[in-house]
Amino acid sequence: MTFGYSSVSQKDKTKSRESTLSRQGSTDMFSMLSAKVNPEIAAEVMSAKSSCPPSRKGSVDLGPGGAPEATPQRKRLQLLPRSVPVDSKSESTPASSAAGSDDEGAESTGGPSMSVEEANTRIAEDLKEFFSIRDLNEADVYFTKLPAEHRHLLVNKLVTRAIESKEADAQLVADLLDRAHSKNLVSPASFEEGFNPVAEIIDDIAIDAPKALNLFAIMMKGAHLHEDEERRARLTGKSMDSDKLVSLLSS
């Protein structure tokens, strides 16, 4: 009886062990199949079986007093707008513009810049054309093509050319000077400067051209120089027969 009982118990233990092994095998097989079909399910199963590792915190450096040391932070760069240098030469002020306009003088236009030689060459060509065509409507350009500082040269050449000519030429010049005066193409100072060389030799001219004083007075009226007492006195005073010239200007 004792032998029979032991054999039975041994059989039961063997069956129990086989049953346990079969369950573990089926569980492992299920895990493998689940991993192939759905990896997420397999991961959940495996994580449930394994123990979670304890969480670890990053190491903190402690200072001498036991408190964590503060990590120095890098200062933030501040980008300022880049300044652009101002070119002082390109700047213009209203004061300088106004000063430039005041220097232009009485003449309305300054005209192109040229030398005295170039101005005399142009004047010679213009005079030849003017006394040939005798068109006042086209004669304004003779002044505008010249710089303001050279326009007295044109006045002088016109008066010199007509002073020894006929009265018709003197009247033509007087009409041109009147247009230049009305359009402010020539200043009173430039008119006087143009007449002055002829006034200095008017007596000598009158020897060969007896009507020189009369023609001179006609052209002075055209330039409106007889209206300015000071300029008129300076010009007529250069002649020995100034009284006659004054009387011609007054008539």
Q: What is the pLDDT of residues 5-15, one digit of tens each?
A: 444 445 555 45
Identify the residue whose tokens are 């007087």. 174
Residue 218 has pLDDT above 70, yes or no: yes
Q: How far is CA 140 from CA 109, 137, 176, 193, 218, in A?
A: 12, 7, 8, 19, 20
Coil, strand or helix: which one is 197? helix
Burial class (CB in 10 A: 0-12, 13-18, 19+), 76: exposed
User: Mean pLDDT, the chain, as a whole number?
Assistant: 75
Residue 242 has pLDDT above 60, yes or no: yes
- Using alpha carbons only, what angle is made at residue 227 by residues 223 and 232, rounded to the nearest 5 degrees? 80
Coil, strand or helix: which one is 82? coil
Burial class (CB in 10 A: 0-12, 13-18, 19+), 193: middle
Q: How confident is the model at residue 192 (pLDDT cuts 50, 70, 90)?
A: very high
Distance of CA 172 to the CA centre of its chain: 47
pLDDT recorded at residue 105:
43
pLDDT recorded at residue 32:
53
- pTM of the full structure: 0.58
Residue 80 has pLDDT above 60, yes or no: no
- Of 190, 185, 196, nearest to 139 by C-alpha is 185
- Give domain limits for the chain: 116-250
Residue 127 to residue 139: CA distance in whole angstroms? 10
Q: How confident is the model at residue 113 (pLDDT cuts 50, 70, 90)?
A: confident
Which of the four CATH numbers 1.25.40.180, 3.40.50.2300, 1.20.1640.10, 1.10.10.10 does domain 116-250 have? 1.25.40.180
Residue 234 to residue 237: CA distance in whole angstroms? 5
2 vs 210, residue with greater confidence: 210
Q: Helices (DSSP H) in the chain: which residue ranges?
A: 2-37, 39-49, 94-102, 116-133, 140-144, 151-163, 167-182, 188-200, 202-208, 212-222, 229-236, 242-250
